[in-house]
A and B are shown apart, each in its own frame.
Chain A
Amino acid sequence: MIKNRLFLLMTAIALLMTVAACGSESTRVDPKDDEEDPIQSSGPYSSDLLEVTDVIMAQFKAERVSEDFRDQYKDAPIIAVIRPLNDTRFPNITKIFEERLISGLMKKTTRRELRFVNRESDTLDAVAAEKAMKESGEVTDRSGRRTKYGADFFLKAKFTALSMTDGDHSSDTINYSFELIDPETTEIVFKGDHLIKRVSEKDALYR
């Protein structure tokens, strides 16, 4: 009897240990909420990118860049976003940051306040090909416009990081800096940054 009970207890423990390693599930979580994220990384979270782009947009508004430009030139300034420089150890954040920044600025402003030009090389190649087809008469050309818009300002971002580890922990301090540059004079119209530090611990299994 005792042997059987002990055996049943051992059986239950062994089964629990085996079952514990099984199964997976997917849950939709709020990208602004770190606490819901089961991943405990020291790298950038989606909430960090949202936070940084919000900071840039707030500074854009606070600096009255659009108002000042329109007062002087009676037209909205044209912004070109330069490829962000990524000196962190985390790939794949440059594109999401750039996309989020442009779409965020466009959502919060109208074309009368800010205008944007696309300077991505694949877009420029497609534009050049389209213009060539219009020139040759291969396709229609309804507006007759030929000149691409020049940028009144460059918006440039750079991510730098101090990444450290002692084997047990990893820490990443990422500085998201950004500046608005006048491409004619190279004047920095405004510059800001936002620092986020995260620390994570590694299990001894993976040290």
Chain B
Amino acid sequence: MSKTASKLLFVVVMALCAGCASRYDVIAAMHRGGYDEVLENTENINDFPERDRTLILNYRAQAKLGLGYHLSARDDFLRSWNIMNTGAGGGHAAAYVIAEDNKYYMGDPYERVFNSYYLGLLYYMLNAPEDAMASFTNALFADTGDFKLNEYAADFVPAMVMRTRVYLDRGAKLDAQDQLKALNALPKNERNFDPACPWFNIDDQLNTNTLFFVELGDGPFMTAEGRHGQTRVIHPSRYPEAYAEIYVDGKTLGRTYKVADSFFQAVTRGGRAMDEVLKGKAIAKDVTTVVGAVGVGVGVSMMENGDSTAGAITAGVGALVLLAGLLLNPEADVRSNVLLPGEVHLMQAQLPPGPHDVELRVFDKDGRELRRMRQEGLDLNVPQKGDAVMLLRSQPRYKIPLQEADRLADPYARHKTIR
């Protein structure tokens, strides 16, 4: 091999390695410093490879939400919403030929559902009910595989509950009833939601003004399995939380009810078109690697036996096929938003307008309280008109903004001031 070819080989290897640069480990960042660490790490989105930026935006939005910067979180969820729902993606050729994770992250359907759901909640909490309505509608759209065949019909209950609330905010009681009818027509599958949830009727919806969405546990994660890692497997996370109980001003409102399960959402929308491509790539990788190696071997033998021209051609073609086989990476893309919760629980109540003191207690499946997850002294302000919405998480716990200014603050300006 000439010196020029060797140099070029080095450049190619470096370029390909650059394409395989290590991913941002958000779980490690959360262990190191929680949402503050993620917020700091992700300040400059342009520091990350283009193909990962939408995922990073979702991480940053989640961190801002967790720290109580609702307006800024909404902006990031909206930025990523635009890419996940109206973008065409990118890195297609490299994803097909080299590795799937060269494509721009756009999220699986369940990740798009959660993105729209958070965006809708934040719009609703920031007094933009019509934008909230559109976001919740899109959450259901993203959860729907094929309208024509009525396949994978949307079954994400939190979006249905919130669409009901927006209809009531408009004064459209009949539309709210229609939405509840659709909710009550869902299969009563306890893996998806608790059918015993008592607020799925118009009377209770009309007679409540406060919604608590309590997130429990961690969401699913993905691994690449199989000989070449070509099979993407979605795993549920294990967590002890089973339900929560909410106290307001020292009195219990009762237990929460599960309205969404992110693992169920992740695995109940059929297979991916990409899975077939990856299977084909895995087979092609085996074949090209073997054929290429044999070609090189035969070519070298031919040259050793005096047939130098034919031997060189055979060896060259063999090397080409071998290189193609080595470059072909059938490994499945396992990037996912691992900051999502395992479950979403709901509590609705009618509370007098004004300030209230909220306490969250979390329990395991045997009814034992998980004491370290108890959250006390949470401030809730119920408005004279409209709903109060409180978003809580067992762990890592969400900060509740103390004042409107905190909710609207620029997190980076504030963090720099603190430093």
Interface residues of A (CB under 8 A from B): 1-11, 14-15, 17-22, 24, 39-41, 43, 83-95, 121, 163-167, 203-207
| CB under 8 Å from chain A, chain B span 296-336 | 312-313, 315-317, 319-320, 323-324, 327
| CB under 8 Å from chain A, chain B span 309-368 | 312-313, 315-317, 319-320, 323-324, 327
Q: Is A91 a contact partner of B135 (Cβ separation < 8 A)?
A: yes
Which chain B residues border A205 with CB–CB below 8 Å? 89, 92, 95-96, 100, 103, 273-274
Residue from A15, A24, A166 within 8 A of B11 (CB atoms): A15
| CB under 8 Å from chain A, chain B span 168-221 | 170
* B374 in contact (CB, < 8 A): no
Residue from B16, B90, B106, B134 within 8 A of A86 (CB atoms): B134
Which of A17, A95, A121, A164 has most B Cβ within 10 Å? A17
Nearest chain A CB to B7 CB, angstrom units: 10
Q: How many A-B residue pairs have CB under 8 A?
A: 152
Residue from B9, B94, B141, B317 within 8 A of A89 (CB atoms): B141
Residue pairs across A and B with Cβ atoms less than 8 A apart, 21 shown, are A2-B312, A6-B316, A6-B320, A10-B323, A15-B12, A17-B94, A18-B12, A18-B18, A20-B94, A21-B91, A39-B86, A41-B85, A85-B170, A86-B133, A91-B132, A121-B127, A164-B147, A165-B144, A166-B149, A205-B96, A206-B103
Which of A1, A3, A41 has most B Cβ within 10 Å? A3
Which chain A residues border B86 with CB–CB below 8 Å? 39, 41, 43
Q: Is B131 a contact partner of A203 (Cβ separation < 8 A)?
A: no
With both beta carbons as reference points, the residue of chain A lying nearest to B163 in the complex is identified as A87
* B81 in contact (CB, < 8 A): yes
Q: Is A203 a contact partner of B135 (Cβ separation < 8 A)?
A: no
Which chain B residues border A3 with CB–CB below 8 Å? 1, 312, 315-316, 319
Q: How many of chain B's residues touch chain A, expressed as a range?
A: 35 or more
Residue from B51, B97, B135 within 8 A of A17 (CB atoms): B97
Which chain A residues border B316 with CB–CB below 8 Å? 2-3, 5-6
Q: Is A89 a contact partner of B134 (Cβ separation < 8 A)?
A: yes
* B88 in contact (CB, < 8 A): yes
CA distance A204 to B95 in the complex (A): 11
Nearest chain B CB to A92 CB, angstrom units: 6
Residue from B102, B272, B313, B317 within 8 A of A207 (CB atoms): B272
CA distance A92 to B320 in the complex (A): 51
With both beta carbons as reference points, the residue of chain B lying nearest to A164 in the complex is identified as B147
Q: Is A88 a contact partner of B137 (Cβ separation < 8 A)?
A: yes
CA distance A6 to B134 in the complex (A): 55
CA distance A203 to B2 in the complex (A): 41
Which chain B residues border A43 with CB–CB below 8 Å? 85-86
Nearest chain B CB to A125 CB, angstrom units: 11
Which chain B residues border A87 with CB–CB below 8 Å? 133-134, 137
Q: Is B9 a contact partner of A91 (Cβ separation < 8 A)?
A: no
One digit per residue, 1 when the CB lies within 8 angstroms of any chain A CB and 0 when it does not, for chain B 113-131 equals 0000001100100011011
Which chain B residues border A11 with CB–CB below 8 Å? 5, 8-9, 11-12
Which chain A residues border B103 with CB–CB below 8 Å? 205-206
* B396 in contact (CB, < 8 A): no
CA distance A18 to B94 in the complex (A): 7
Residue from A22, A90, A166 within 8 A of B134 (CB atoms): A90
* B37 in contact (CB, < 8 A): no
With both beta carbons as reference points, the residue of chain A lying nearest to B299 in the complex is identified as A3
One digit per residue, 1 when the CB lies within 8 angstroms of any chain A CB and 0 when it does not, for chain B 1-23 equals 11011001101100110110000
* B87 in contact (CB, < 8 A): yes
Q: Is A17 a contact partner of B50 (Cβ separation < 8 A)?
A: no
Q: Given contacts A40-B88, A91-B81, A165-B141, are A17 and B98 in contact (CB under 8 A)?
A: yes
Q: Is A17 a contact partner of B127 (Cβ separation < 8 A)?
A: no
With both beta carbons as reference points, the residue of chain B lying nearest to A161 in the complex is identified as B137
Which chain A residues border B236 with CB–CB below 8 Å? none
Q: Given contacts A7-B9, A10-B323, A91-B119, are A17 and B93 in contact (CB under 8 A)?
A: yes
Q: Is A14 a contact partner of B327 (Cβ separation < 8 A)?
A: yes
Q: Given contacts A8-B8, A11-B12, A93-B134, are A21 and B2 in contact (CB under 8 A)?
A: no
* B277 in contact (CB, < 8 A): yes
With both beta carbons as reference points, the residue of chain A lying nearest to B81 in the complex is identified as A91
